[in-house]
Every structure is written in structure tokens, then in C-alpha cells.
Structure 1
Amino acid sequence: MSRLPSRFWSCPVLLGMTWIVLLQPCHATAPVTNSAAFLDQTESLRTKDHPRFVQMLEQIHREAPPLTMSEQWHLRYLDAWETMFEGDYAKSEVQLHDVIDHSGDTALSTKASALLLTNLAANRRYEEAFTLANRLTIELPQIKDPLARYLLLMNLSQMLDLAGQIDLAIKYARMMESAIPPGESLCLPRSLEVAALYDGKRLASSSPELRRAIDTCVAAHQPVAANSMRFIQGSLYLDEDQPDKAMTLLDQIGPSLRINHYYPHMLSAEVERAQAYAKLGDDDGARKAALNTVAMSHPGDISEWLRSAYEVLYQVEKRQGHSAAALSYYEHYVTQDRGYLNDISARTLAYDETQQHTLVQKLETEGLSRQNSILRLQQALATKAAESSRLYIALLLVVLASIVFWLFRLSRALLRFKELSHLDGLTGIFNHQHFMTEADRALRLLEKKPGGGCLVFIDLDHFKQINDTYGHPMGDAVLRHTVAICRRQLRPTDLFGRLGGEEFGILLHECTRDQGMAIADRIRIAVETSPIEVDGSVASLSASIGLASTDIYGYELQRLCREADAALYRAKRSGRNRVVTNTESDNPAEA
């Protein structure tokens, strides 16, 4: 429960790092006499003194001095930057494409392309963003302008972190550190490296990289970036069961948060405070901070801030015995959790698909090159003597055979890529997105037959305690062990997927409610009677199971998921290690 939104560091905070606005007073500016120098000075202030940047941008538009074509494009780029800062992503995208396609300035086009990456990621257009990132990565060695190269490396690091490619994200952050342009500091590259290490779960509250990043950003007078790093430190304190340190840190940075009033930081402060209060046993404080987070969010938001806030509210109400309120908050938590997992799946799938498209394009290019070689060989054959014709024909056949073999391997590779995109990397069963897609399709077929079915949700009891006691390798082994147990109880026609964390889903085909309960209970007993041993450590397991059947709730997947979730919650609430269907009483007996 203590972990703050991991992708918060990869998207909202990193977007914040893209801007890093320091609230400073406006200054009077002299008339524009040298337009090129004035534009360069304006650009240098965009992340250091944003109010003055806006003032100078308005001044050059107001005075309208004669500008060269290069200066006009420079001004259009700065206008696009400010439009995006103000949150008008659609308008800024049009402006950026105009600069990229028509300016003719390589450095300016690169800076606009780097900014466009942030624009696309903020709008969750991940496939377009990763496609652009792949193209810019190829062009990176040709970028000579120091600032353009620096900004491109920054955005590439953010995008790779967003895709879960931690090592590559760290690599680009360190490349930034070795290529600092004049006027920039080490704050941003070191912050990006820490963000990637945090998302990769390679960071502790005492890590020297974290301390170095905080000190660097403080020395560079960039409080937004410094506070981003302090939020990471606070989240790590919570992970390490040091809520008192997290609370002290929040109190220390409170004045800075109120001065900068950066929206993502205000949300993070309330979430961390709610989690710290919960760990300290202060339910009233935890509830108040969590409700503040909900109140600050926008209607319809799906975010890890809300996910964490609703989790705290659910735990608080559950501890105090408020079953109705706990169930309501749990349903909100499940909605946020699924939205978050779907967003992760979308980012991962988009990254995999763009990598696959890049591979296909490369292979197609190689294929065209080989076809051109064949044409040249055919032309050469016409000029050769008759005695050597058989040798060239044999060579042609070998080349054709290699192309056929290459096409065969390409088709197999594409099929393999498609299969891997549907599976959970740890357990080998369907991932969340593919399970939901296949379950919806199967339910529609069952409805047409008609035939019965049961949706089963399984959650391992006390899984966090296993991780805390034996470590994450034991936790991963438990998940694989549980999957193996369940598979032995299922039929070939049943669907089986991992919904996230320690939660699994099963769709039983051609199955009545009573048959489904019997199968679910066999799974529960098998899990309970099959402890696992890893490196001399033995862990006992149990599972809580919720079931919803089509003969009661119909064939609509969303309704079945909601009822199975509610049944699972009741199984947890009534003592765990049991099977519950949502038609039973509030105190179901152990199955």
C-alpha cells in the first residue's frame, strides 16, 4: 500500500521536469534591437524564469520587428512550447508539425520533435510516440546542436522509462549528463536517472544516487525537480516501514509545495500523507488526507493517486468495521487499479508493436536489396558466355532459396511476437488485457448457444507478507506454483489469466454455478495443501475465491466482473481461504 504511483515519476513528474517552472517576478525588458539574440535569451528563460519568458514572447509579438525566415521559425517554435505549457496539446501539435515539416532547420526540427514526444505521451498516444522515438533514436548520431541533442536525450529517456525499458532510460539519462549544454545543470539528467531506478525497483531511501540528485537540484535552484526526488524518497520511506520519516519529510517540503503549487506534487503530498498516517495507525488522519486527494482530482480521472487513495480508504473503513463503506471504496479501488493496469498494458503493447514494425521494415529493406541484387545478376547473365550460364543459374536458385527461407523465418517471428504480446511474462498465462478480450468473446458465444459459464476471481491470501518475509524471488515462485496448481484443475476449454499482482481470473466454459463452485473449491484445497519450498524456506499458501455465474447474472462481462469482485471481497472479509458466490449470505461458510 505504501508505494506511490510508479508511472507518476515517468509521466507527470517528468513532464514537470520538462517545464521545471520557478516562480520569479517579472522584469522590465529593453526594446528588441537584435532579434536573434533576443530570441535566444527568451528561449534560455523558458524553464528558469517562466513569467519573464512569457513577457518577452509577448514583447516580440507586440513590437513585431523585421525577422529573417530563420528567426520567424524560431519564434513559432517558442510559441508552440508555450501553447503546450498552457495545456493546449492539440494546437501545439499542429504548431510543432509545422516547424518539423517546413522550417528546414535541423536543430529546431529536432527540438520540436523532442517536444512532440512529450505531447503524444501526455495524450496517451503511445504507439505514435514510440514510433517517433524510434526514428529520433536513429537520427541521434547526426544531431550536432548541443541543446537539441540534450532535449532529445531527455525525451528519449522519459519514453523508454514509460515503456518499462529501465536500463535504456538510465543509459540516455547518463548520456545527457555527459553532454550538458551551456546554461543547463546536472539536475535534470540525475533526476531522470533516479526516476528510472525507482521505476525499476532498484532504489532505497539511502541510495547515494537519490541524495546526489536532491543536492544537485537544490544547488541549481530548481525546487520542482528537487521536490520530485523528495517524493521518491518519501515513498521509499513508506516501503521500508518508516512512516515517521516520510511524515517529517512532507512537513519539511510543505512551504515549497505551497509556493510552487504544482498540481501533481499537491496530489502526491496528500497520498503520501494518507499512507503515512495509515501506517502510524491514525485512521482519521489517513481518511482526511485520502479524501483530500479524491476532492483534488478531476471527475473521471484514472490515476495511481486515486488508486492509492481509495486503497487507504478501503483499509481504514475495513479496520473500523464499516463494511458498506469499505465495499464502496474497494469498488473504486478496483476501477482505478484496472485502469492503471490497462494503461501499463497499452504502453507495453505499443512499445512492442513499434519495435516489431521497426524489425519488419528493416527486413523488408533487406529483402528489396536482395531483389535488386537478383536483377543485377540477371542482367549479368545476358552478357556472359553460354558455358558459364549454368553456374549463374545455380547461384540465382540459391539466392531465391535464401529469400524463401528468410520469408519463412519472418512469418514465424511475427507469429511469435503476436503470441508473446498476449501472455504474462512471469507466469506464461494470459495477461490482463488479453484475458478480458477472450473472456468477452467467449461469453458472447456462450450466449448464442446458449450455454452456461462461471467467472472466477482468485486472490492469494497474505501475499505481501510472503514477499516481506521471504523476498520477491519467493513471491515470484509462489505465483508460478499457484498457476501450475490451477492448471491441473482446469479443462482445455477454460480461460486462465493473471489480472495483476497476486490476482487471477478463470472463465469456466459450459459450467453451471454448482459445477463452478466445485471446481473453485478443488483449486482452493489444492493451493492450501501444496506448500512451496524455495532454497530451504517453506511457505504455506491459501486463496480466497469469488465466483459469478451466467445463469444468475447474464453474459455481460462487466457485470460478471463486478459480482465476482464483490464475492472475492466477501471471501476476504469473512476470514479468507474460502469460495464465495455473491448470492450467498453476508457470513458464508468456508467451502
Structure 2
Amino acid sequence: MRRAISRSRSCAIGVALVWCVLVSPGLATASIADPAAFLEQTEALRTKDHSRFVERLRQVRREGPSLSTPQQWHLRYLDAWETMFEGDYSRSEAQLRDIIGHSGDVTLAAKASALLLSNLGANRRYDEAFALANHLVDDLPRIDDPLARSMVLMNLSQMFNLAGQTDLAIQYAGMMESAVPPGETLCYPFSMRAAALNNTGRLTSSSPELTKAIDACVTAGQPILANTMWLVLGDRFIDEGQPRKTLALLERIEPSIRASDYYAHLLSSQVQRARANEKLGNVEGARKAALAALAMGDDTEMNEWMRDAYGVLYRIEKGQGHASAALSYYERYVAQDKGYLDDITARDVAFELSRQHLLAQKLETERLARQNSVLRLQKALETKAVETSRLYIVLLLLFLASVVFWLLRTKRSQLRFKKLSWHDGLTGIFNRQHFMNEAERILRSLEKRTGDACLVFIDLDHFKQINDTHGHAMGDLVLKHAVAICGQQLRPGDVFGRLGGEEFGMLLVGCPGERGMLVADHIRMAIEASPVIEEGCVVSFSTSVGLAATGTCGYELQRLCREADMALYKAKRAGRNRVMADTSGSLAES
């Protein structure tokens, strides 16, 4: 879970870096005597002085100078940048693809590709984003312009950081550092390196990488990037048990955050203030900051800041005995938690798929190369003497056998990856997405013949305490142990999957509600009676179970999930280590 949160925070850091795309100091207003120079100066103002950047674009159109074809494409690129900055991703994508496909300018196409990569990542179109990233990696040796190359390297570092490929992200940040464009500073490569290290939890408040990034960005006069790094430092203070330092830091940088009016920083600073005050026991201060953060956002947003804000409010209300309010906040907390975990999973799957696709393309290229070699060999065979023809035929057959071997290997690898994409990497059971797909398919089939089924949600009690006390390795053993016990109670036709963290789901097929309660209670008792014993350490644990039956809730998966989830929350509130069923029918507690 800690790694997932870091991954999501790194995504937010990447967004800040996207909008600070390699800019130079502001320039004085100028007439358009030289359109090419005017456009270059205008491009340098994009984020240093955005209002003047927009005014200069208007000036180009208003004065209507005669632009050459390259200058017209340059203007279209600046228009696409502004369109994306305003949030119109769809229109900016069309503009960028037009520049990439038709401008004929290698440098401009590289800049547009880097910007398109950010566009796709911001819209969570990870399959296309990683495909474009692979293409840019291949094109990188042919990009000579220092600024365009630096933009591509920065976006590649950001994209691989989103996929959890920290070593690659650091590698591209290092390439940026070794080839800083003239007039630029080390702010960007240092920030990308710090973001990648933060992704893996290897960054602390005293890490020299973080200190260097802050100093470089402050010196370069890059307030948004500097504030991004300051906020990373604030997170580290909280995680290291120094909330007072976080509050002092927020007071110092608040004027700069408000001056830049950057949404992510405004939201992040409020959430940090809420978390720090909660650590210090300042309940009112924590509540005020968390509510302020929620007022900025939207319930449809899925990010770690909204999640943390709901988490703070849930713990406050729970501590004060306000059960109804605590439940409401907890439900929103869970929705946020699942939302951004699903997004992280989508990134990982997209990256693996793009890597497999790239591998398949390379193998296909090798196959075609081998086929060409075969044709050359066949032509050579025609000119050879009879006494040597048999030898060449044998060699040819061996070569063809190797091609078939590689093709079979590739196919087997693809089938294996497809199977892995359905299963949870730790426990081996279905992952959340495949479990939901299978459950919905079975429910549709049961509805046609009015069959029975029960949806069961299982959550391990006090699992965080097990991790904190015995370590994550023991936590993994507990999860595997619980899955093994559950599997012993299930029939071949039942569906079993991990929904996320310590929560699991079961669809008991052909099982009415009363029978489902018995099965769920057998599982609960079996887990309670079977502690994990590892190297002399005995870890006992229990489960809370929520159940919803088709006989009372119908066959709609969404409703069954909602009812089972509510029943699970009731089991938690009732003291844990129990089975609760939905309240739509006559089922009760076990």
C-alpha cells in the first residue's frame, strides 16, 4: 500500500513537471520585425509569464505577419500547447498529431511528441502513452536539438516513473543532467530524480537528492517546481514523525503556493496541514484543513489527496464516537483508495502489454529477417553443385526449425502473460478486474435460470497492525494463509478473487443465502482457529465478512457489491470477527 501511495504522489509530481516544460526567463514585449525570433521568444514565456505568452499569440494573429511554412507550424505547436494548458486535451491531441505527421520538422515533431506523451498520460490512456514512449526511445538518437531532446527525456522519465520503472526513470533523468540545454539549470533533472526516488520510498527528509532539487529550483526561479519539492519534503517530515516541521514549512511556502494558484499544490498543502495537525492531536485544525481540501476538489476525482482527507475525517469522527459520520467518510475513503489503486494497476498492465508488444514486434522483425535469409539461401542452393545441395537443405531445415521454435516461444510467452494478467501476483487467485468480470458473467447466466448465488466480501481484521508489528513479509504470509484456508471451503464452480489490500471476494454459485451464511461462518472460524506460525512466531488473526444473496438483492453485480460492502462495514462496526448479511431480506448475523 505504501508503494501504491508513493506511485500516486509521483504521478502528481509529474503533472507539476509537465506544466513547467523547460522555459527561459521572460522577455520584453517586441514588435514582429522577425517572426521566427518572435515565435521563439514567445515559446520561452509559456510558464514564466503565461499571460504575456497568450498576449503575444494574439499579437501574431492580430498583426498578421507573413509567416513561412516552418513558422506556421511553429505557431500551430504553440497553439496546441495553449489548448492543452487550458484543459482541452482532445483538441490539443488532434493538433499535436497533425504537427507530428505533417510538419516535416524533426525538432518540432519531437517537442509535439513529448507534449502528446504528457497529454495521453494525463488522460490515463496508458496503452497509447507507453506505445508512444517506446517510439520516442527509438527516435532519441536522432533528436539533435538540445531543448527538444531534454523535453523528450523529461517526459520519458516521468512516464516510466508512473509505470514504477524507477531505474529507467532515474536513467533518463541522468541523461537530462548530462546534457542540460544552454541557458537551462539542473532544476528539471534533479526534480525528476527526486520524484523517482520518492516513488520507491527511498527518499527521506535528509536525502541529498531532495536538497539538491530544492536548491536548484529555488535558484532557477522556478516556483512551481520548488513548491513541488518543498511539499515532498513536508510529506517526508510527516512520515518520519515530525509534523511540527511540516506545519512550519507550510507556513513558509504558503504565500508562494497562493501566488502561483496551482491546484495540485493548494490541495496538497491543505491535506498535509490536516495530516500534521492530526498527528499533533489538534482535532479542530485537522478537521478544518481536511474539509478545506475537500471543498477544493470534486467527488469524481480519484487521487491520494482526497483519499487522505477522507481518511483524516473518518479517524476524527470515529475517535469522537460519531458512528454515522465516520461510516460516511470511510465509504468515501474506500472509494478513493480503490480508485487510485485501480489506476496504478492500469498503468502497470499497460506498461507490461507495451513491453510484450515491443518484444513481439522485434521477434517479428527477426522472423522476417530470417525469412529473407532463407530466400537468399534458397537462391544460393540453385547455383551449387548436386554434391553440396543436401548439406544446404539440412542447414535450411535446421534454420526453419529455429524460427518455429522462436515463434512457439513467443506464443507461449504471450499466453502466459495473458494468464498472469488475470491473477493476483501475491496470492495467485483472480485479481479484482477478472473477479468482477467472471462474477458478472455468472450472474447473468444464473438470472436466466433463476439460480441462487451469494456474494461474499472478506476483510482481515487489524491487518495493518500485523504489518506494523511483524513486518510486511509476515503480512504476505498471512494473506497467503488466509487464501489457502478460503480455498479449502470453496467448490470448483465458485469464484474467488483479491479485491485489493487485505480484502477478498467470493461468488458462491448455486448457494442460497442461508447456506452462504454457513459457508462464510465456516471460513471465519477456520481462519480464527488457524494462526500463522513462522520461525517460532505465532500470529493469530480474524476476519470480518459481509454477504449479499441474489434471493434478496437480485442479480445486479453493482447492487450485490454495495450490499455486501455495507454488510462488511456493519461487521467491522459490530466488533469484527463476525459474519453479517445484507438487510434486504431475512438474513441475519452469524
Flag whether TM exceeds 0.5 (same fold).
yes
CA separation of 1:547/1:87 partners in 2, compared to 1, >3 Å: closer, same or farther? same
Q: Deviations over 1:442-486 (max 9, x none)?
A: 222222233222211121222222222233233223222322232
* 2: CA distance, partners of 1:493 / 1:4: 33
Deviation at 1:543, TM superposition (A): 1.7
Query: For 2:322 and 2:122, how far apart are their aligned partners in 1?
Result: 38
CA contact (8 A) 1:11 1:122 kept: no
User: Is the contact between residue 547 and residue 582 of structure 1 (CA under 8 Å) also seen in structure 2?
Assistant: yes
In structure 1, the partner of 2:539 is 539
> Corresponding residue for 1:188?
188
Residue 200 of structure 2 is aligned to residue 200 of structure 1: yes
Give the corresponding residue for 1:441.
Answer: 441
Question: Is contact 1:345–1:433 with CA below 8 Å preserved after alignment?
Answer: no
Q: Are residue 528 (structure 1) and residue 542 (structure 2) matched?
A: no
Residue 94 (structure 1) aligns with: 94
Q: Give the match for residue 280 of structure 1.
A: 280
Over 3 Å counting, the alpha-carbon distance change for 1:28 and 1:369 in structure 2 is closer
Give the 3 Å change call, closer, same or farther, for CA 48–339 of structure 1 in structure 2. Answer: same
Task: Quote the residue 2:131 is aligned against.
Answer: 131
Alignment of 1:316-465 (within 5 A): 316-465=316-465
- The separation in 1 between residues aligned to 2:192 and 2:526, in whole angstroms, is 46
Is 2:293 aligned against 1:293? yes
The 5 A counterparts of 1:241-280 are 241-280=241-280
Deviation at 1:144, TM superposition (A): 1.7
**Counterpart for residue 60 of structure 1:** 60
Cα distance change of structure 1 residues 573 and 245 upon mapping to structure 2, 3 Å threshold: farther
2:13–2:195 contact (8 Å) kept in structure 1: no
Distance 1:252 1:4, change over 3 A: farther
| Offset at residue 441 of structure 1 (A) | 1.3
The structural deviation recorded for 1:153 is: 0.6
Q: Give 2:550's aligned residue.
A: 550
Is the Cα contact below 8 Å between 1:4 and 1:271 reproduced in 2? no
Measure the CA separation in 1 of the matches of 2:66 and 2:401.
64
Contact 1:564 1:581 in 2 (8 A): yes
1:2–1:235 Cα contact (<8 Å) kept: no
- Contact 2:24/2:184 (<8 A) preserved: no
Answer yes or no: is the 8 Å Cα contact 1:44–1:183 preserved in 2.
no
Q: Once the two structures are superposed, what CA deviation does each residue of 1:90-143 show, in whole Å capped at 9, x if it has no partner?
A: 221122112211221211111110011001111121111111011111111222
| Structure 2 residue identity aligned to 1:89 | Y
Instruction: State the distance in 2 between where 1:455 and 1:167 align.
Output: 41
* Number of residue-to-residue matches in the alignment: 590
The change in CA–CA distance for 1:517 and 1:470 in structure 2 (over 3 A counts) is same
Q: 2:407 corresponds to which letter in structure 1?
A: L
Structure 1 residues 573-582 or 282-291, which shifts more?
282-291
**Post-superposition shift, 1:565?**
0.9
1:257 positional shift: 1.4
- Which structure 2 residues correspond to residues 100-249 of structure 1 after superposition, within 5 A? 100-249=100-249
Stretch deviating more after TM superposition (383-392 or 568-577): 383-392
Determine the C-alpha separation between the residues in 2 that align with 1:266 and 1:353: 35
Shift of residue 21, structure 1, vs aligned partner: 9.0
Q: Deviations over 1:357-378 (max 9, x none)?
A: 1111111111112222222222
Q: Do the aligned partners of 2:257 and 2:265 also contact (CA within 8 Å) in 1? A: yes
Contact 1:314/1:327, CA 8 A, preserved across alignment:
yes
* 2:485 alignment counterpart: 485
Report the alpha carbon displacement of residue 584 of structure 1 after superposing the two structures with TM.
9.6
Look up the SS of the partner of 2:498 in the other structure: strand
Does the CA-based 8 Å contact 2:8-2:340 persist in structure 1?
Answer: no
Write out aligned runs for 1:7-26 (5 A): 7-20=7-20
Q: Provide the C-alpha distance between the structure 1 equivalents of 2:431 and 2:409, rounded to a whole number of angstroms.
A: 26
Distance 1:401 1:2 in 2: 48
Q: 1:248 to 1:481 in 2, by over 3 A?
A: farther
8 Å contact kept, 2:21–2:151: no
SS at match of 2:508: strand
Say which SS state the counterpart of residue 169 (structure 2) adopts: helix
**Aligned partners of 2:369, 2:213: CA distance in 1, in Å?**
48
**Preserved contact between residue 311 and residue 333 of structure 1 (Cα < 8 Å):** yes
Q: 1:163 to 1:220 in 2, by over 3 A?
A: same
SS in 1 for 2:467: helix
Q: What amino acid is aligned across from residue 289 of structure 1 in structure 2?
A: A
Q: CA deviation at 1:528?
A: 2.2
Does residue 84 (structure 1) correspond to residue 74 (structure 2)? The answer is no
TM-score by length of 1: 0.93
**Counterpart residue identity of residue 400, structure 1:** L
Cα deviation, residue 559, structure 1: 0.8
Cα drift, residue 283 of structure 1: 3.3
Unaligned runs of 5+ in 1: none
Residue 496 of structure 1: how far off its partner (Å): 1.7
1:320 partner letter: Q
Q: How far apart, CA to CA, are the structure 1 residues paired with 2:368 and 2:173? A: 36
TM-score where L is the length of structure 2 = 0.93
Deviations 1:322-343 (A, max 9, x none): 2222222222223222322222
Q: Shift in Å at residue 48 of structure 1?
A: 2.7
Change (3 A) 1:260 1:23: farther
Distance 1:582 1:312 in 2: 28
- 1:356 and 1:211, CA in 2 relative to 1: closer, same or farther beyond 3 A? same
Deviation at 1:415, TM superposition (A): 0.4
**Letter of the structure 2 residue corresponding to residue 164 of structure 1:** G
Matched residue type, 2:350: A
Worse overlay, 268-277 or 6-15:
6-15
How has the CA–CA distance of structure 1 residues 304 and 434 changed in structure 2, closer, same or farther, with 3 Å as cutoff?
same
Is 1:4–1:304's contact at 8 Å kept on the other side of the alignment?
Answer: no
Quickly say closer, same or farther: Cα 1:216–1:537, change in 2 above 3 A. Answer: farther
Aligned residues of 1:3 and 1:236 also touching (Cα < 8 A): no
Aligned mates of 1:397, 1:263 — CA distance in 2 = 64
Look up the SS of the partner of 1:11 in the other structure: helix
> Contact 1:24–1:49 at 8 Å: present in 2 too?
no
Question: CA distance change for structure 1 residues 28 and 370 in 2, over 3 Å: closer, same or farther?
Answer: closer
How far apart are the structure 2 equivalents of 1:353 and 1:551? 40
Name the Cα RMSD after superposition. 2.7
Q: Relative to structure 1, is the Cα distance of residues 4 and 256 closer, same or farther in structure 2, using a 3 angstrom cutoff?
A: farther
Per the TM alignment, residue 154 of structure 1 is displaced from its structure 2 partner at its CA by: 0.5
Equivalent residue of 1:245, what SS?
Answer: helix
Which amino acid in the other structure matches residue 250 of structure 2? Answer: L
1:2 to 1:480, Cα distance in 2 relative to 1, 3 A: closer
**Residues in 2 aligned to 1:396 and 1:224: alpha-carbon distance in whole angstroms:** 62
2:307 equivalent in structure 1: 307
Give, in whole Å, the separation in 2 of the partners of 1:220 and 1:418: 47
Range moving further from structure 2, 576-585 or 16-25:
16-25
Q: Following the alignment from structure 1 to structure 2, what is the Cα–Cα distance between the partners of residues 460 and 561? A: 18
SS at match of 2:10: coil
Question: Are 2:20 and 1:46 equivalent residues in the alignment?
Answer: no
Q: Secondary structure at the match of 2:301?
A: coil
User: CA–CA distance in 2 between the matches of 1:106 and 1:244?
Assistant: 51
Q: Name whichever of 535-544 and 164-173 sits farther off.
A: 535-544
Query: In 1, are the aligned partners of 2:270 and 2:290 still within 8 Å (CA)?
Result: yes
1:4 Cα shift?
10
Distance in 2 (alpha carbons) for counterparts of 1:4 and 1:318: 25
Corresponding residue SS for 1:504? strand
Q: Which is further off, 84-93 or 464-473? A: 464-473
Q: CA deviation at 1:239?
A: 2.5
Deviations 1:389-417 (A, max 9, x none): 32232223222322222222222111001
Distance, in Å, in 1 between the alignment partners of 2:578 and 2:282 is 31
Aligned residues of 2:457 and 2:547 also touching (Cα < 8 A): yes
Q: Which amino acid aligns with 1:242?
A: Q
Q: Give unpaired runs (5+ residues) of structure 2.
A: none
Shift of 1:264: 1.0
Q: Which amino acid aligns with 2:95?
A: Q
| Structure 1 residue 28: Cα displacement | 5.1
Q: Contact 2:35–2:65 (CA<8 Å) still a contact in 1?
A: yes
* Other structure's SS at 1:456 match: strand
Q: Is the 8 A contact 1:21 1:224 kept in 2?
A: no
Displacement of 1:534 in angstroms is 4.4
Instruction: Indicate how the Cα distance of structure 1 residues 24 and 33 shifts in structure 2: closer, same or farther if over 3 A, else same.
Output: closer
Shift of 1:299: 5.5
Kept in 2: contact 1:42–1:57 (CA 8 A): yes
